[in-house]
Structure 1
Amino acid sequence: MDFSLDENQRAIADLAADVLAKEGAGEPLAHDARQDPETRYQEHVWAAMAKVGLLGLALPTELDGDGLGVAEIAVVLTEVGKAGARVPALATLALGVLPVASHGTAKQREALLPDVAAGNALLTAAVSEVGAPLATLPGTVARPGGSGWRLSGRKVAVPYAGHASRILVPASLEDGAGVFLVDPHAGGVTVTPTPTASGTPECTVDLDDVEVSAADLLGGDTSGAAARALREFAVVGAVASGDGALAGVLDLTTEHVRTRHQFGKPLATFQAVAQQMADVYIAARTVHLASVSAAWRLGAGRNAEADLDLAAYWLTAEALPSVRTCHHLHGGVGVDVTYPLHRHYSELKDLTRLLGGHRNQLHAFGAGAGS
């Protein structure tokens, strides 16, 4: 099968790469910005992406969007990962825009998505719980109360929770599950910043009998379909971001071994170096193929469960060992915070944690294959 990008996707990739390069997305954040949870992303880069329409790709055409889907968003996330940009693309586009655009009501889409496309608002989702990354059966519960619902539970590793206008919160119902649009400033919501490897904002979100209206149930769905879709979008978005980050690592290391000389020769001419680079290349290309395959199947409306599990496994199993090899080939340069390799490494650490690690993914893949 041919998983090459089509003409539109190629144009999106080129546009994203161009904007990210022009805006200096690969430049490191200042030390004080890395330590401040309120400023730990590149707002000027995000504004530039909004200006050229990259944040409105998945909006319906009636909201002046392009009516595109998960495959195109995955292309954007891959370019963001490749550039090492610190922007809320995974949180807002994969965890927010895609589920709202595909499962939200017309009123929900109209209320949330235009501001996101304009760069004036962020979305995110709380897909993980304590001891349960990407939880399939949320421990957070929603019970009928007043004219809507009351939510109680704890969510962890919620990206950009303190910046978002709404957090998509999966919760178990008496008979099924739903996704609720929660205002992080609502009564009963406690947002606590937590550290990450990359320094990007992430929080634990505690919900103590939080009241939400019936209109805040995504798509009015109580069957669990919206919750399953949210989890799928989270996986495909994380893998696409990781695909880009690993590609960025490979590009940096290829250039380094080509131009760095030892004993009067480029490092790339030494057999041991070439063999290690070949291993990283194979891992990167395998992750890329698995990522594109998963995005394609999901975007085509096919059952993508096995492809998502496989892609997540390859990323979590191969990405960090590959980056460690590239660190070794760089020598001391690789751990310098003024050199971009560390950004990709830290981002891949956070993505691996989001996905639950390779053992968790292997278990999920094995369970799916045996069912």
Structure 2
Amino acid sequence: MKTFEPDTQSFVIPPQLGQRIMEIMEEKGKAFTQQALANRIGMNRVTLSKKLHGERDLYLFELRRIADALHLPIERLLLEDTKEDQVELEGLLEKLENLPRALELATKISSIAVGITERTKSLNDLGRAYYILEKYDEAFETWLLAFEYAQKIANKNNDTSMLFNIIANLMLTYSIRKEYSHLSEIISTVEPHFASDPFRAGVICYSLAKIAENQNNYEAARRHYHRSLDYYISTQHQLSIARATHNTAAFEFRQGNYQVSKKLFEDALPYLNDHMSKLVSLKELVKTLLMMQETELASTHINTAFELINGVVSSGTHYAVFEAKFHLLKSMVSNNPHFAMKVLDMKVDDRTKSFAARYLLDFYEDNDDSAQAIKYYRIVRNLSNNVLPILGEEDF
């Protein structure tokens, strides 16, 4: 059952140089109090404090003195030495290109980071690089360290933006790894910070729902899915509401609550404003209708899907896998193997073809055609060892 998963979250370091200097001073310990730094650079402590808090201008010659006193190159203090690498890294992560290079850059930047804000940002980016490369254990450990820093920032500066992004990323690894150490600690930290922010609370509740479902705690999962939906409804942001509605419908489908699932998918569809999202939701709705044996309505939605696919193809984009799956669904609705046979000749992956072959195997077994059944059994064995019911497959 296809759902709409959140992306990994990124953020930028706010341009607060005074705060950065104070963070570096704190890291260096008691020898770098404001009074000690003021003495080192020949400045009155009150004047230094005003400059660090943005109440008076900091001049370049003063920054050079501060950098020298902190035993840092001024380029490091101003983040100039990593600026080009950071721009390249963000471009690679955004476009999912040259990921080994992205990991190299993220590792380099995090290794020289100073100050709690830069450390948090660089570790978050390193975790993103690991995650996109499917190194989920490394991503988890990196984001867990970033979480500790972000928690300190939230408690000290009342700035929860970094904390939220890292929590959202951590939840992705919890869902994938299905290993839940530190979870109760993280949840207890998160909830007070985000209860008044419906967008962020919606993401957190969705992540908690996925985790509860993975732990077979279905009542807790249902509660979190519907809480997530309620939070998004309060935002009045139609696309977010539609995606949360779809995800809740997918859960109810997995629980066998097809009537509830049907209504939720129907509620979501009008507000999914891109072809891909509409096709995802249409496919799940058709599967639900098949389970309810509402074949006439299912057929109507399949025709709508083909109209969307044809529109996309004519604009130069080919959604072959969607086309194949809707051909297979059409065979299921019409009890006609012809459409499923088309899938085996399409340029799609073996996994998609295996769904069609499994349907054809079942069809000919049910119709006592042993020769055809054996033919498609062999195709199934060549393509996949899985013979579970197709509609229950998570990736169909």
Higher-helix-fraction structure: 2
The answer, yes or no, to whether TM exceeds 0.5 is no
Q: What's the TM-score, normalizing by structure 1?
A: 0.22
- Determine which structure has more spread, i.e. the larger CA radius of gyration: 2
Q: What's the TM-score, normalizing by structure 2?
A: 0.21
